[in-house]
């Protein structure tokens, strides 16, 4: 990991003065704030965007509900506009460069760190200590309160963004993260008449902010996350068209949305390993 991180750009300096906050509890603009790309969400976030130097917990039922699409605008801003690096620590699926390029993300600024579950926290902390880091995305099912405090301190010292993906059941646990959000997919009203691709285009994301600086959110937000498909080689495009002609309609209960997405993504991975597709992680989750 050290060898990979040593290739990152150098240039981030510590901003100790920003560790002392003064101002109104919500929507206090800061030049270092990174917009989420969603106006409604920005208005609900302290500082009107993602605040560097803090951990944001995204509590999800299953990986693949749209969490990367939710962060895509911010990752693009950090990598393509600001020239900073973004590190993925222990994602459950292999990042797909073709789909990330479709989002205009500078993939040369992305680092994928593989880590066993008992090493994820250490890898995240070491990532935050590197120079030139804009954000660290961390997938960690189990973490205790002490470890969360340590991660928050690391993010604060680095003045970088840290996004921690945890299961929904963690919402009942205390956390040192200043911002905690429950993210759930919303089933389209006419889902029973849609095929899988149409269904994925129409699924929205409900966000309930259960902890933030200032008063709690009055009601959950509902965001429509754009789903951009990477360009396919001609032979794969024709194969897609042939499959679409015989595609089976899917009927999914609202309580099984995330599980359905996960199963669909796994099917894509099975096809990938069989040589049928060259996309997987991003086609089904929009990354």
- Confidence band (pLDDT; 50, 70, 90) for 246? low
Average pLDDT of 50-58?
95
pLDDT at 4: 45
Helices assigned H by DSSP within the chain: 2-5, 39-44, 67-76, 97-102, 120-128, 145-158, 196-202, 234-245, 257-273, 281-285
pLDDT at position 11 over 50: no
Q: Which of 157-171, 187-201, 212-226 has the highest mean pLDDT?
A: 157-171
In terms of Cα–Cα distance, which of 45, 50, 74, 60 is closest to 205? 60
Percent of the chain, pLDDT > 70?
A: 67
Query: Distance from CA of residue 135 to its chain's centroid?
Result: 11
Distances (CA, A) of 15 to 35, 85, 160: 20, 18, 10
C-alpha 247/C-alpha 147 separation (Å) is: 46
CB within 8 Å of 87: residues ≥ 6 apart: 5, 110, 111, 112, 113, 127, 133, 135, 136, 137
pLDDT at position 8 over 50: no
Q: Say if pTM beats, i.e. exceeds, 0.75.
A: no
**Which has more pLDDT, 216 or 127?**
127
C-alpha 19/C-alpha 17 separation (Å) is: 5
Give per-residue pLDDT as tens, 146-176: 999 999 999 999 999 999 999 999 988 889 9
C-alpha 178/C-alpha 174 separation (Å) is: 11
**Which has more pLDDT, 103 or 256?**
103
Beta bridge partners of 182: 59, 208
The SS3 call for residue 137 is: strand
In terms of Cα–Cα distance, which of 159, 157, 161 is closest to 86? 161
pLDDT at position 182 over 70: yes
Helices assigned H by DSSP within 81-215: 97-102, 120-128, 145-158, 196-202
Whether the CB-CB separation of 4 and 111 falls below 8 Å is answered with: yes
- Confidence band (pLDDT; 50, 70, 90) for 218? confident
CB within 8 Å of 263: residues ≥ 6 apart: none
Give per-residue pLDDT as tens, 70-128: 999 999 999 999 999 999 999 998 888 888 888 899 999 999 999 998 899 999 999 99
pLDDT at position 143 over 60: yes
pLDDT at position 54 over 50: yes
Q: Could you state, in order of their start, the residue ranges of all structural domains in the chain?
A: 2-7+24-285
Fold of domain 2-7+24-285: Rossmann fold (3.40.50)
């Amino acid at each position: 990991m050290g060898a990979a991180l040593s290739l990152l750009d150098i240039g981030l300096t510590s901003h100790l003065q920003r560790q002392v906050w003064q101002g109104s509890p919500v929507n206090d603009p800061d030049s270092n704030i990174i917009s989420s790309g969603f106006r409604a969400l920005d208005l609900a976030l302290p500082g009107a965007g993602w605040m560097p130097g803090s951990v944001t917990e995204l509590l999800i039922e299953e990986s693949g509900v749209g969490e990367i699409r939710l962060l895509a605008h911010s990752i693009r801003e950090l990598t393509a506009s600001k020239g900073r690096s973004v590190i993925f620590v222990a994602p459950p699926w292999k990042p797909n460069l073709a789909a990330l390029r479709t989002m205009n993300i500078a993939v040369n600024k992305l680092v994928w760190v593989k880590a066993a579950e008992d090493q994820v926290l250490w890898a995240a902390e070491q990532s935050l200590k590197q120079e030139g880091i804009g954000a660290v995305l961390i997938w960690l099912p189990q973490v205790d309160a002490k470890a969360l405090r340590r991660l928050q301190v690391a993010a604060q010292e680095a003045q970088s963004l840290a996004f921690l993906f945890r299961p929904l059941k963690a919402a009942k646990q205390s956390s040192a993260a200043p911002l905690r959000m429950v993210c759930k997919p919303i089933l389209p009203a006419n889902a029973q008449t849609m095929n899988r691709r149409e269904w994925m285009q129409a699924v929205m994301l409900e966000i309930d902010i259960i902890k933030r600086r200032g008063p709690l959110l009055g009601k959950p937000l509902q965001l429509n996350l754009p789903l951009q498909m990477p360009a396919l080689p001609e032979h794969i495009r024709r194969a897609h068209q042939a499959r679409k002609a015989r595609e089976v309609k899917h009927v999914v209960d609202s309580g099984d949305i995330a599980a359905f997405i996960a199963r669909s993504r796994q099917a894509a991975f099975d096809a990938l390993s069989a040589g049928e597709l060259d996309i997987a992680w991003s086609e089904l989750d929009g990354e």
